[in-house]
Structure 1
Amino acid sequence: MAAVLLALTAYGPAHADTDSWAGYNNQQDALDVTSRFKIDPSTGQLAPSIGGTSNSSTAADDPNQYLADTHCRADGPDTKDPGCDALECPATATNSEAGTPVIWKEAPKAITNPGWTDWIPVSGPTCLYDPQPENVLANIAARILTDFQQLPVNPGTLEAQPFPHTLKGGPTNFYTTTAEQGFDVTILGQAVHLTATPANYTYTFGDGGTLGPTPVAGYSIPEADWLTNQTRTSHTYTETGNYQATLTTAFTGTYSVNNGPPLPINGTLNLTTPAKTIHVWKTERALVADTCQQNPNSWGCPGAKTD
């Protein structure tokens, strides 16, 4: 996505603000960060978003904006979620200060400065740990792509049928075993769950041929079909030799802060499998008088002498 706009609330006295970035929504004592920040798609860093708008070329794919409501209201300004009273947010090993109970909410981005009736609870109550909770999501969003690209994601394996030997002029079926993976990490003192999902694949066959990017991961086929079944990820080698085949998978990601809603990550993680050597052989045919059982030295038999 081209931009991530984040809305949060924080307690504080109502006052006039001449900063053109800042705006106050219809909730009393709530700071709307939606008008302050967006993520630069080329750098992954925070950039000012005057008035909270962006042009069509940088519009986010996610149609919603999100709010961590520190008032912990579920359905309106006078209705407090009973779970907020029961929820305790004590200091932890990574957070020396107690946290704040919040209710995660969402509203369509089409609504400018949503009022309390526009926000829809999506998860919570949960704890948010930060001395300035109005800034924590924006700060995490500014670095989340870097954290995502440092995850120990398993690139999966590249499989080939037949393997390790295949035939010149015949189809060789390639496929991958990669899968979605989840990780729990701590970022800026917050519990963050990241999910890496394979989105597309680029096959490099070693002889100059490539396939992709394609959303097709391929699949295993029965041995009886190896030399006859041309799949969507098959490749035909036209020359004998040994070729180094690889697969590059592009992973997209989402992240959830303190059990909040999953937010899309702007960017991908591209991982390439170790090279797999494909030995391409050719076939020859000849008429013989005897079977290998009758004459072990017949042409084509194991151990037979060749000219």
Structure 2
Amino acid sequence: MGHICASLPGPGGGGGGGGGPAAPVRPDPPTRIPESQFQTFDIPAPTIYAWPKDWAVVGKPAAFWTNTEVSYIDMTLLTYAVTVKVTPEKFHWDFGDETGKTTTTKGAKPRPGGAPQIGHEYQKSGKVSVSMTATFSGEFSVDGGPWLPIDGFAHVASNDIAIDVYRYHRYLVDEDCYSDPRGPDCT
């Protein structure tokens, strides 16, 4: 009689005792999310607003703001339930006239007569398109555990707003255009 020695699959290499297939081993939970993966997440695009809504006047501040808030994304990674918390950190504004500004606040619609939190004064008339790119940081929680930081940042573009920039001027005249139709700014 001869003997054959073999390593069989299963717990302890002894075949598992039950003769059935071994249960798959669950991978370790994620401990890191790289920036390249974070940038592919479906982060809600910010919406921007302007006041006045779709026009501005040369030399007068137009106000801009966004409604971007902290958001949460639920997903499954390596069989684990993961919640990603996305926080807006910076806002990179493009005012459409080859100028821009970076802010750490999202701004707000100004009160009547108040100064804008995020304002811009156009220097010439014409049509412009205003946009903003928000920079988000992230944290993630695995199966309701502690929040862990995500490497790097994600950048998400907003909608565009078309704005007509007008120029205005004042004349001091002693009569109106009805009494003097050829007066300044009457034709």
Choose between structure 1 and 2 for higher RCO, CA contacts under 8 A separated by at least 6 residues.
Answer: 2
List runs of 5+ in structure 1 lacking aligned partners: 1-96, 98-129, 300-304
Q: Helix, strand or coil: the match of 1:211? A: strand
Structure 2 matches for 1:59-74, cutoff 5 A? none
2:34·2:152 contact (CA, 8 Å) conserved in 1? no
Q: 1 CA distance for matches of 2:143 and 2:163?
A: 46
Aligned residue in 2 for 1:278: 163
1:50-104 per-position Cα deviation (integer Å, ceiling 9, x unaligned) = xxxxxxxxxxxxxxxxxxxxxxxxxxxxxxxxxxxxxxxxxxxxxxx6xxxxxxx
1:188-222 per-position Cα deviation (integer Å, ceiling 9, x unaligned) = 1110011111011111111111111x212111112
Q: 1 CA distance for matches of 2:73 and 2:30?
A: 18
Aligned residue in 1 for 2:39: 149
Aligned residue in 1 for 2:111: 222
Aligned residue in 1 for 2:99: 209
Give identity over the alignment, percent. 25
- 1:148: how far off? 2.8
Aligned residue in 2 for 1:131: 25
- 1:150: how far off? 2.4
Aligned residue in 2 for 1:266: 151
Q: 2 CA distance for matches of 1:251 and 1:235?
A: 24
Greater Rg, structure 1 or structure 2? 2
2:110·2:117 contact (CA, 8 Å) conserved in 1? no
Aligned residue in 1 for 2:141: 256
Q: Helix, strand or coil: the match of 1:285? A: coil
Q: 1:186 to 1:144 in 2, by over 3 A?
A: farther
Query: Whose helix fraction is larger, Structure 1's or Structure 2's?
Result: 1
Q: 1 CA distance for matches of 2:34 and 2:140?
A: 8
Q: CA RMSD in A?
A: 2.8
1:148·1:194 contact (CA, 8 Å) conserved in 2? no
Q: 2 CA distance for matches of 1:221 and 1:232?
A: 7
1:2-35 per-position Cα deviation (integer Å, ceiling 9, x unaligned) = xxxxxxxxxxxxxxxxxxxxxxxxxxxxxxxxxx
| Aligned: 1:191 with 2:81 | yes
- 1:288: how far off? 6.4
Task: Give the alignment's TM-score, normalised by structure 2.
Answer: 0.75
| Aligned: 1:235 with 2:124 | no
2:83·2:141 contact (CA, 8 Å) conserved in 1? yes
Q: Helix, strand or coil: the match of 2:113? A: helix
Q: How many residues get paired?
A: 163
- 1:186: how far off? 0.7
